[in-house]
Chain A
Amino acid sequence: MSAEAQIRNYILENYLFTDDQSALDSGDSFLDKGILDSTGILEVIYFLEDEFSIKVEDTEMVPENLDSVNNIVAFIGRKSQ
């Protein structure tokens, strides 16, 4: 499964309680759309560190890296380089 699909499915299952892929656009801002609050973002960080074996540094905990599926995919891509 691609990283994008993994992250999308994680958000759909755990925050939107659905498997309907149309419920989430990969560009949707989690915070603006009210999908995640700041505790939710911390849960996503926990998921990413566990699932993708990365360490998210304090300075990387910014919306530009974590606030949408697309942002996370790009962030993980940069971390894996």
Chain B
Amino acid sequence: MQSFSERYEAEVLNFDREQAAEHICETMRELLRSKLRKRGLVVAVSGGIDSSVSAALAVRAIGPKKCFFMQLPEVDSAEDTQSRSSQLIQHLGVESTQHNIASTLEAIGCYDARDEAIKKTFPEYTDGWKNKIVIKGGIDGQVNHFMLVVQDPSGNLQEKRLDLREYLQIVAATNYKQRIRKTIEYYHADRLNYAVVGTPNRLEYDQGFFVKNGDGSADVKPIAHLYKTQVYALAKHLGLPDSICDAIPTTDTYSLPQGQDEFYFALPYQEMDKALWAHNHGATAEELAEMLGISEDQAKFVKQDIDNKRKTTHYLHAKPYLIDPIAELNL
């Protein structure tokens, strides 16, 4: 009998890239035709792997002339993500716009609300300092909790556990970024009569790593069924520039560099892909431990963390609940 590692390699790593790409493109064309009834696709490109692959698939599905791309940076966006998104736009030959959302975020109070909460934890925090949130607990069997990391202008790092109120305020404030971006995406979609492409991979979609009515909002999500490892493979298959194929995933939301595994997932994405796949295919903690080279206890906690995140973020996926259904709408 094949081990889980062997099955993962055969079913996930060695998937048929051309068939996967063609299936996505055909389905997107069919959705545009019969469900969405829109003339094209808008994609906000961050320079990350997911939006780059989604954008390339959109172009492959309906051609560059029916796509419109946006770059939506703000003050905490890393420079390299912007240069990568510019490279992608040039590579795919699609009309695009750049709209810096910093002044909108400033006006709505995003940065002030975030900094107010940070100062309750680090009163000395001020202009020129950087910040990020780091998750702790999942792989140690603890309740997930959050550390605030700040860096002063001379580079000194400090870390403290965030009180719940401050954590919620920082996240609520930074969620403005995803929600303002989505407002602009829908402006262009409405203007052009296009549909909006959402860009989560399977790990993000399954585990609820998105902002409701922010990056979670879209008309079609072409790579939500693909593990992150597969998205990287597809990037190479589609011939995207090396700088994009080799990009390390970050949230690009906080001013200090922040890996997705620091903020949300219990493990780096390569291991999280394996864990999610194995958990979905009935692996025991012992089998997962062997696959990942971690202890059985840690594997048990990772499996619990996957289930907990599904429960915690279920409402992010849900449509608004009605008291009584409206049967005539057939939704």
Contact = CB atoms under 8 A, between A and B. Distances in A.
B119 interface: no
Nearest to A59: B142
On chain A, which size bracket covers the interface? 10 to 19
A62 B142 contact: yes
Interface string B132-150: 0000110001111100000
A22 to B, nearest CB: 24
A38 B304 CA distance: 11
A25 to B, nearest CB: 20
Interface in A1-58: 31, 34, 37-39, 41-43, 45-46, 58
Interface of B is mostly: mixed
B163 interface: yes
A71 B9 CA distance: 43
A71 to B, nearest CB: 12
Interface string B33-67: 00000000000000000000000000000000000
A43 B136 contact: no
A43 B137 CA distance: 16
Interface majority SS on A: helix, strand, loop or mixed? helix
A67 to B, nearest CB: 9
Contacts of A34: 311
A31 B308 CA distance: 8
A69 interface: no
B221 interface: no
B311 A58 contact: no
Interface of A: 31, 34, 37-39, 41-43, 45-46, 58-59, 61-63, 66
12 contacts: A34-B311, A37-B312, A41-B143, A42-B143, A42-B145, A43-B164, A46-B165, A61-B142, A61-B143, A62-B143, A63-B143, A66-B143
